[in-house]
Structure 1
Amino acid sequence: MELDYDDTLNSLEGWDIAIIVVVFVLVLVVGIWSAWVSNRGTTKGYFLAGRSMSWWLGLFCLILLGFVFMPVYISAGVFTMPEYLKKRFGGERLRILLSVTAVVLIILTNISSEMYAGTIIIQQALNWDLYLSVCLLLAMTAAYTVAGGLTAVIYTDALQSVIMIGGATVLSVIAFIEIGGLENLYLKFMTSIPTPTFLAGNTSCGIPTEESWHIFRDATTSDLPWPGVLFGIFLLSAWYFCTNQVLVQRSLSAKNVTHSKAGTLLAAVLKLLPMILMIYPGMISRALWPDYVACQDSDTCTKVCGNPNGCSDIAYIRLLLKLMPTGLKGLMMAAMLAALMSSLTSVFNSASSIITLDLWVKVRPLATETELVIVGRLCTLILAVLSILWLPLIQLFGSGQLFVYIQSISSYMSPPIFAVYTTGMFSERVTEQGAFWGLLLGEVIGCTWMVLDFVFIAPPCGGVDERPLALQKIHYLHFALMNYAATVLFIVVISLLTKRIPRDKLIRLTWWTRKSELPRKPISEKENEKNWERELKKREKSAAEHTDEPPSGLRRIWNFVCGIESSPSDEPTPDDKEAMEKRMTSLEEDPKWARVVNVVCLVVLFLGFLAFGLFA
């Protein structure tokens, strides 16, 4: 029996396209406005939005970040995550190693996944030329990221979040009405077998199982074994939310530690929504169109979505284009495209922060504030080009494989990073030698396993698995746990064999010393003297670059784009820097609001455990 897969999705109408244009114009206006009103002329203003973001702009962080990690980061007074390790352990090699690893992770995981999501939306709904569409999106994204720094990123993200949550809520309601409620969804989902699979009658590929409705699944045979879900995903999530530059930078931009905690609480509440707004709608899409969303063989999947590896990733966009009415369809399309831009802006700004503040200063130790901000903007443009270069790779590997590879890359490379942060933050005995060699050995193990996983690709459903036994038996989430434990062991053993760091050099750098009022001695006196010499030379260089002559019109435009102010007051004085550092490292909280956020934290934790128990 030959099936017809030339199904045409409901195309976007004039009103849909008009709404998409309006939303994108609004996003650009917000980004440009934030560029005018923000302090963009210094690295603090560009990369940390001037430390003036209100709590309600916090996005998708976890309570662990706000209540445990952020107090230490704030008391340490850091811009980037590698900078924290530099202050905690001293030396340059650990900071450089972590910076390179972090940038590689951002490019391989964040950029590739966001670009892949964009290709699905564009190909399935808009039927535009892929490269032209993505180039236009990246141009818009880079424009307000370059212009406004983190301020533009956060304000536009706040606007896009409202659109996304509202549109997803409407689509979820319409989808549940279409399927006939949760009970009917269960019945239809469990019988949503692709027609070729049903006719073959001799395969289990593509047949839903009871495990689909539970978080905890079989520990050995499941695609998501419960030990990996309970411990491995927690480990990856803790790394992602608590030590990932993309997300920590949002919380570092908060006005104070109370705002940071409140933002993470809002994010934690929003984390309860994906089950209703994303997971259930995806299951409804499969239940309604199993021949398309759940196709199994490569020929069929190629006809359906152009991807021989599977078409499960078109579930949400298909649901949107089939069920949403005109107007709302355009609004939701705008929200999904805005989600792409939202994530990419965060990636651009955070990656450029690491490259500029952790790597470029090693190449140019005397770089002025102006130079650093310009380099940050150039990094954004380079990352935009890298995003476009990722597109052929995304199309080559396809959805299912690439998504699994992205999760695998995180499992292979992120546990050693998280091990360094947790041991360094909660143990004063950990030394620079232990942290560096532990991280290096952990990354070597992870990268070796990643290469093996790329070389020996898992077979499709029904195929013969000829991979080495270790790759067959060890799930990547289980490997993440083992690599984390191994890295911690390396760090502890090597640290115990080396000289410990004096406690007076760890003031406000660990959990136990975060509230100390004692002055902190520099890790290295020699390095501290070099820093002072560089600072004096930078100020002399900056003062020499400024003139009293008024800038020309073209120069003023250049200054605005690059975040350069015309007066030499851009370079803060030593007193200004001391006052700024004191404000940025303060953990003082209003007692009333501190109690409020603590009570809300308990309520959110209760809701989280309740939801976890409900779906376990």
Structure 2
Amino acid sequence: MEYNLGVIDISVLVLYFIFIVWFGIRSSKKGSDSTSDYFLAGRNMTWPVIGFSLFAASISSTTLIGKSGDAYSTGIAVFNYDLISVLVMVFFAMFFLPFYIKSGIFTIPEFLEKRFDKRSRYYFSFITLMGSTFLDAAGALYAASLLMKLVFPSLSIMELSVIFAVIVAAYTIPGGLSAAIKVDLIQGILLLVGTFILTFLAMRNGGLEHLKELLLNEDMMMKLIRPLDDPSVPWLGMIVGIPILGFYFWGNNQVLVQRVLTAKSIDHGRKGILLVGFLTVSLIFIIIFPAVIGKHLFPGLPKNDMVYPKLVIELMPIGLLGLMLAAMVAALTSTLSALLNSVATLFTMDFYVKFKKEPSQKEQVYVGKIVSVIVLILAVLWVPFVSKFDSLLKYYQEMLTYIAPPVVAVFFLGVFWKRINKHGAFWGLIAGAFAAIATIVAKVGFNHELLGSIHFLLKVPFYFVFSAVVIIIVSLLSKPDDKTQIEDLIWTKKIYHEETKELEGVPFYKNFRVWSLILIAFCFIVLYMYQ
């Protein structure tokens, strides 16, 4: 599938990229030689900026390309990943976010050192660095290049990957997170506007009638709750699998949480999370439904992942086509920008600062910029390997199945149970790693599934429970950590009561708990409508 853009659309696309690079450089925070300014945008961002930035950064290649491809083939069940994750966001904002912000951390692994010790910090930081570079960054480059390959067929995937890497580097590396977040704000709004326009056009071209017909016929394509043997999202996986993966994505993922750490206060951070929660629910209308309509309009596509680009190219009028392509690429470049910031922060704060004696803040920022360049080069070189996977979404999900559960177990037990100690946390992570390695070796080397042929969502709780058991046993068999060093990092009922007292004089429309309940209710309404 190829398409030759007209002069107007090409002009819109090129002008947009020029504007984004100019705006990003112009928005670079003055005095960015400060580590707080460069890596965390001065910790003074407000909730609307955080919310839209998170939304833009979270619309990765797996969302825009992968999820639409899954919706094209199996229906709306793939939206369960977003719907359940919104509930996880509320949980994260309520219980974990305050500890992250109050502790003054730069990275999520840094929190592990504060709660446990440096062993857990180094381990988690290392696997995050590897995953962000070879899984996320390369995936984002590949997806953006795949999209632009449709309109610039003479360019190879590698050539397009280099172009996108240069564009993102131009505004992300000089200006740091402050520039990236401000660019994300624009790109998030553009993405919403563009996708809503596409949804409207898809509905007008027979899509609305098709969706009504599917609903009236109780077609499985329009059902969120599926049988236990469903190949897409079995109902049990919604309960025991997605919450764990969702918490890793929203609560332990440096790429996204780093944007929340820029909040000027806990309240702004929480409201930013709730805003992105509401925006995430909209994905069923702006990505999932159009993909289902695409099945009706363009049956038999050679590759499911191409349904959203096909909708854009076939339905968007001149001018708006260029804008929509810009919006789609914006989503992917926002993800890449977020990845560069997070990897630079992880390496600098978790490794360089620890092993280099008292580096100046200017030196730390310089190292962060060098790391960003290296990561981009590695990601570009890794793009050909990503292209070998049939579905970006399945590629990402399978890796998360192995990576997420041990990490979530450590964070969850560490915040809610003071008896969990540094030895339990570290060996729980190591045990989870060995379980993952054993699974991969058995599958690749011996063509054998250790947990059988069950859905990967149903494998997630096994890895979680295995790691949790190791964490608990090792902790109980070893000496407790010093209570005075960890008491400020453990959740207690006292914290809840103190927050309740603080909220007594706050108007209901400014109360994050009220908006949390509204968001939860909204999710269950959607689930009920499409059960």
Question: TM-score by structure 1 length?
Answer: 0.75
Kept in 1, the 8 Å contact 2:138–2:380? The answer is: no
Rounded Cα–Cα distance in structure 1 between residues aligned with 2:222 and 2:15? 39
Rounded Cα–Cα distance in structure 2 between residues aligned with 1:470 and 1:330? 48
Kept in 2, the 8 Å contact 1:72–1:514? The answer is: no
Kept in 2, the 8 Å contact 1:508–1:515? The answer is: no
Q: How is 1:35-114 mapped onto 2 (pairs within 5 angstroms)?
A: 35=28, 37-58=29-50, 59-60=54-55, 62-90=89-117, 92-114=118-140
Rounded Cα–Cα distance in structure 2 between residues aligned with 1:88 and 1:588? 26
Assess, with a 3 A threshold, how the Cα gap between structure 1 residues 134 and 434 changes in structure 2: closer, same or farther.
same
Match of 1:290 in 2: 299
Aligned residues: 490
Kept in 1, the 8 Å contact 2:149–2:160? The answer is: no
Kept in 2, the 8 Å contact 1:189–1:287? The answer is: no
Q: 2:113 aligns to what SS in structure 1?
A: helix
Q: CA deviation at 1:186?
A: 5.9
Kept in 2, the 8 Å contact 1:57–1:263? The answer is: yes
Rounded Cα–Cα distance in structure 1 between residues aligned with 2:45 and 2:443? 42
Q: CA deviation at 1:490?
A: 0.6
Q: Of residues 501, 511, 517 in structure 2, which corresponds to 1:596?
A: 511
Q: Which has the higher helix share?
A: 2
Q: CA deviation at 1:234?
A: 1.5
Assess, with a 3 A threshold, how the Cα gap between structure 1 residues 85 and 327 changes in structure 2: closer, same or farther.
same
- Counterpart amino acid of residue 610 in structure 1: I
Match of 1:351 in 2: 343
Q: CA deviation at 1:472?
A: 4.5
Q: CA deviation at 1:408?
A: 0.5
- Counterpart amino acid of residue 261 in structure 2: L
Rounded Cα–Cα distance in structure 2 between residues aligned with 1:334 and 1:373? 30
Assess, with a 3 A threshold, how the Cα gap between structure 1 residues 125 and 398 changes in structure 2: closer, same or farther.
farther
Q: How is 1:303-322 mapped onto 2 (pairs within 5 angstroms)?
A: 311-322=303-314
Q: 2:488 aligns to what SS in structure 1?
A: coil
Kept in 1, the 8 Å contact 2:134–2:379? The answer is: no
Q: Of residues 215, 222, 246 in structure 2, which corresponds to 1:237?
A: 246
Match of 2:234 in 1: 225
Rounded Cα–Cα distance in structure 2 between residues aligned with 1:427 and 1:333? 48
Kept in 2, the 8 Å contact 1:88–1:509? The answer is: yes
Cα deviations across residues 380-419 of structure 1 (Å, max 9, x unaligned)? 0011101111121123x1432x431221001111110111
Q: 2:281 aligns to what SS in structure 1?
A: coil
Kept in 1, the 8 Å contact 2:345–2:368? The answer is: yes
Rounded Cα–Cα distance in structure 2 between residues aligned with 1:480 and 1:55? 32
Q: Identity across aligned pairs (percent)?
A: 31
Cα deviations across residues 85-129 of structure 1 (Å, max 9, x unaligned)? 111113x22211111111122223312321231132022233241
Assess, with a 3 A threshold, how the Cα gap between structure 1 residues 603 and 187 changes in structure 2: closer, same or farther.
closer
Assess, with a 3 A threshold, how the Cα gap between structure 1 residues 590 and 370 changes in structure 2: closer, same or farther.
farther
Give the unaligned 5+ runs of structure 1: 1-7, 192-208, 294-300, 302-310, 457-466, 517-586
Q: 1:424 aligns to what SS in structure 2?
A: helix
Question: TM-score by structure 2 length?
Answer: 0.87
Match of 1:253 in 2: 262
Decide which moves more: 488-497 or 364-373: 364-373
Assess, with a 3 A threshold, how the Cα gap between structure 1 residues 158 and 326 changes in structure 2: closer, same or farther.
same
Q: Of residues 426, 429, 432 in structure 2, which corresponds to 1:439?
A: 429
Kept in 2, the 8 Å contact 1:105–1:410? The answer is: no
Assess, with a 3 A threshold, how the Cα gap between structure 1 residues 30 and 146 changes in structure 2: closer, same or farther.
same
- Counterpart amino acid of residue 348 in structure 1: L
Compare relative contact order (CA 8 Å, sep 6+) and give the higher one, 1 or 2: 2
Match of 1:26 in 2: 19
Rounded Cα–Cα distance in structure 1 between residues aligned with 2:8 and 2:522? 39
Match of 2:282 in 1: 273
Kept in 2, the 8 Å contact 1:108–1:406? The answer is: no
Q: CA deviation at 1:363?
A: 2.7
Rounded Cα–Cα distance in structure 1 between residues aligned with 2:214 and 2:472? 53
Q: In the alignment, does 2:467 pair up with 1:475? A: no
Q: In the alignment, does 2:467 pair up with 1:487? A: yes
- Counterpart amino acid of residue 200 in structure 2: V
Rounded Cα–Cα distance in structure 1 between residues aligned with 2:167 and 2:231? 42
Q: 1:399 aligns to what SS in structure 2?
A: coil
- Counterpart amino acid of residue 198 in structure 2: L
Q: CA deviation at 1:445?
A: 0.3
Q: CA deviation at 1:10?
A: 4.6
Kept in 1, the 8 Å contact 2:40–2:177? The answer is: yes
Kept in 1, the 8 Å contact 2:294–2:307? The answer is: yes
Q: CA deviation at 1:261?
A: 1.1
Give the unaligned 5+ runs of structure 2: 56-85
The root-mean-square deviation of aligned C-alpha atoms, in Å, is: 2.4
Kept in 1, the 8 Å contact 2:43–2:263? The answer is: yes
Q: Of residues 374, 398, 420 in structure 2, which corresponds to 1:408?
A: 398
Assess, with a 3 A threshold, how the Cα gap between structure 1 residues 141 and 588 changes in structure 2: closer, same or farther.
farther
Kept in 2, the 8 Å contact 1:9–1:322? The answer is: no
Larger Rg: 1
Q: CA deviation at 1:63?
A: 2.2
Match of 1:365 in 2: 357
Assess, with a 3 A threshold, how the Cα gap between structure 1 residues 469 and 349 changes in structure 2: closer, same or farther.
closer
